[in-house]
A = this chain, B = another copy of it.
C-alpha cells in the first residue's frame, strides 16, 4: 500500500529549496491533474534526455504516452528508470533586490521505474486516462482505437510512490533594509495558462457544432479542467 503522505528521497528533494516541499499526497494530485504536459527524464547512452509528453493519472499510477519520441522508452520489457516533472509557473516575483527576484510555481517530481503496459485491458485503460487528461470527454465522443492503432501506440505506467512537490505562492521575501528603504516597487505579476476559442478544422463540414465537452473548456483557465479530469 502507498501511504497518503509522499515519500520524497534525497534525489527527489535536492538542495536549497527544502522549505518549499509539500508532503501531502493531494498536493501531488493537484499539480499533476492540472498540468497539460510532463517532462520525462531518462538516461540514454550515459547522458540525460528530457522530453515533453502527454500523461494522465489514475489514483496512484501515472500513465505516460510512450510513443511520442523516445525509442528507449519502448524497448526494455523490464521497464526503464525515469523522472517525470510537471511544473506550473504561477507568477513572476519582483523583489526590491535582484537577489530576491523569483517565480511562483508548483512543481511535482516523480522518480521510479516505468513499466510498459502490454495487457490489453490495462493498456486501453491507460490510453483512456491519457486521452481524458488531454481532452476530457473525447474518449466517448471520438472514433475508437482500431487494432492497428492499438498496436502502434505504447503506454507506460509509473507508480506515484517516490515523489515530491514544491510550491512557492507568496510575495517577495525582501531583506528588512530594502523594505524599509522603500525605493523599489515589489510584488507579483501573475501568470496563467488559458484556453482560447475553439478553431474548427479546415476540412470540417460546416454543419458540425463544437461539442459541449470542448466549449466547456473554452476561454477559461487551464487549471479549471481538474474537476473534469478526475471524473474519469
By size class, the interface of chain A is 35 or more
- B-contact 0/1 string along A49-72, CB 8 Å cutoff: 111101000000000000111111
Smallest Cβ-Cβ distance to A44: which chain B residue: B11
- Interface positions, chain A 195-232, Cβ under 8 Å from B, are 195-205, 207-211, 214, 217-218, 222
- Check if B190 sits within 8 Å of A103, measured CB to CB: no
Q: A98-B139, A103-B54, A127-B98 are in contact. Are A49 and B189 (CB under 8 A)?
A: no
- B-contact 0/1 string along A171-193, CB 8 Å cutoff: 11010001101111111111111
**Cβ contacts under 8 Å, A182 to chain B:** 205, 207-208
- Check if B68 sits within 8 Å of A16, measured CB to CB: yes
A16 shortest CB reach to chain B, Å: 6
A199 to B69 alpha-carbon distance, docked (Å): 40
A185 to B45 alpha-carbon distance, docked (Å): 43
**Cβ contacts under 8 Å, A81 to chain B:** 46-48
A39 to B149 alpha-carbon distance, docked (Å): 31
- Check if B196 sits within 8 Å of A191, measured CB to CB: yes
Which of B146, B178, B189 is the one whose CB lies under 8 Å from A143? B178
- Check if A17 sits within 8 Å of B68, measured CB to CB: yes
Pull 12 A–B residue pairs with CB atoms less than 8 Å apart, ordered by A.
A11-B44, A41-B49, A43-B46, A43-B48, A48-B48, A52-B87, A54-B103, A143-B178, A171-B199, A174-B203, A187-B200, A188-B199
Q: Is the interface of A mostly helix, strand, loop or mixed?
A: mixed
A191 to B197 alpha-carbon distance, docked (Å): 9
A101 to B142 alpha-carbon distance, docked (Å): 9
- Check if A202 sits within 8 Å of B171, measured CB to CB: yes
- Check if A195 sits within 8 Å of B191, measured CB to CB: yes
- Check if B185 sits within 8 Å of A210, measured CB to CB: yes
Interface segment among A22-30, A104-112, A115-123: the answer is A104-112
A232 shortest CB reach to chain B, Å: 14
Q: A14-B72, A42-B48, A103-B54 are in contact. Are A210 and B192 (CB under 8 A)?
A: no
